[in-house]
Amino acid sequence: MSLDQYSFQDIVSLIGCYTNISTDDDKEYNGYLYTIDPQTSHVVLYDNHHLQVIFHSTIKTIHFDRQRQLASVELDNAVVKHDTTANLEQTCRELIKYFEMNRIPTEYKEPHIHLLGSARVEPPYVATSVVAENSLIRKRVRDLVMEFYLKKKEK
């Protein structure tokens, strides 16, 4: 089944479902559905203490197992629980350096990273923890956070 066949309400009800994704290059990804970016439709899966981002354009099929579902609170706790304070502080420092490297005005006011005077990234410093009233700025900052994690994973 294609992701495009699901409505927004369907997707919200599927958060936490165990998910199997096949991509165009015949790779398989499995995990609990953590989120789907509303702007790009990129899928984020959580499994075994890791988050995986699968780009919408690469998804061939997606299947949800409603019998294996975590409540969103359980899912958030599982993700955040493994981010110790030291890990969060390290991620915060690295993310600030990444923003500065991309010439984005950054200010740190514990525990938030403030950007462009109109956006902030809250702990655990992931794309879904970006807060901004302006949707274009929010999307741009979310994209940068996702790029940060993708580049970090490549290292």
Final residue of a domain: which of 56, 77, 98? 77
Helices 135-154 & 85-101, crossing angle to 10 degrees?
A: 110
The whole-model pTM stands at 0.51
Q: What residue numbers bound the domain in which 110 lies?
A: 84-154
Residues 10 and 72 grouped into a single domain: yes
Q: Using an 8 Å Cβ cutoff, are 27 and 11 in contact?
A: no
Percent of residues in the chain assigned helix, strand, coil, to nearest 5 = 40, 35, 25
Q: How far is CA 44 from the centre of its chain?
A: 5
Residues 66 and 94 grouped into a single domain: no
pLDDT digits (tens), the chain, 155 positions: 667 777 778 877 888 899 999 999 999 999 999 888 878 889 999 887 778 899 988 999 999 998 988 776 566 666 665 556 778 889 999 999 999 999 999 999 988 999 988 999 998 888 888 999 998 999 999 999 999 988 887 76
Final residue of a domain: which of 77, 106, 123? 77
- pLDDT (0 to 100) of residue 101: 93
Nearest to 45 by CA among 16, 4, 8, 7: 16
- pLDDT (0 to 100) of residue 107: 92
CATH assignment of the domain containing 110: 3.30.310
Final residue of a domain: which of 77, 99, 130? 77
Instruction: Give the number of other Cβ atoms within 10 Å of residue 86's Cβ.
Output: 8
Q: Using an 8 Å Cβ cutoff, are 146 and 42 in contact?
A: yes
Residues 116 and 136 grouped into a single domain: yes
Residues in CB range of 145: below 8 A, 6 or more apart: 95, 121, 125, 126, 127, 130
